[in-house]
Amino acid sequence: MSDPRGEGRKRGRLSRSGDFDRAYRDGRSHANRHIVLYAFPRGDDEAGDDVRLGISVGRKVGGAVERNKVKRSMREAFWALQDTLPAGHDFVLVGRSDVGELIERDGSEGLKSSIAELLAAAETGS
């Protein structure tokens, strides 16, 4: 059965706290004023070459409604860059307190460019 929104396959999500902890502990972090990106390459013994994403946004961003809007925006911006993502990686995006202002000021394009900047830094290892 096909997805009514036209998305071909289900996108991977990090949902267990152990997966988040492993990305925090063993992954490489890259940050800017708005977002912290943790990138963790999974080993060959783990299933698939799929990319998985976890998102964390703290209370400093706002109430539950605001945090959920920010998480949704971050998720959409991340998956818009899907073609540039390395296979077999787990990523965790952590929204800092200024991320809501970035979305309000620059919209999804500003968020997308901010995430793309962090992904480029993760690939070069700097």
- Per-residue pLDDT 10s for the chain (126 aa) are 444 444 445 678 988 999 899 999 999 999 999 999 999 998 765 556 789 999 999 999 999 999 999 999 999 999 999 999 888 899 999 999 999 999 999 999 999 999 999 999 988 876
pLDDT of residue 1: 40
The encoded tokens of residue 21 equal: 């902890």
- For domain 12-124, which CATH number applies: 3.30.9.10, 3.30.230.10, 3.40.50.1360, 3.40.50.720? 3.30.230.10
C-alpha distance across the termini of the chain, in Å: 43
pLDDT of residue 46: 59
- At position 76, the amino acid (one-letter code) is E
pLDDT of residue 11: 77
Residue ranges of E strands in 23-76: 28-31, 35-41, 52-57
The number of residues in the chain equals 126
Residue linked to tokens 């963790």: 40
Q: What is the pTM of this model?
A: 0.86
Query: What is the C-alpha separation between 19 and 22, in angstroms, rounded?
Result: 5
Q: Is 100 helix (H, G, I), strand (E, B) or coil?
A: helix
Query: What is the C-alpha separation between 11 and 8, in angstroms, rounded?
Result: 9
What is the longest distance spanned by two Cα atoms in the chain? 43
pLDDT of residue 126: 62
Query: What is the C-alpha separation between 18 and 24, in angstroms, rounded?
Result: 10
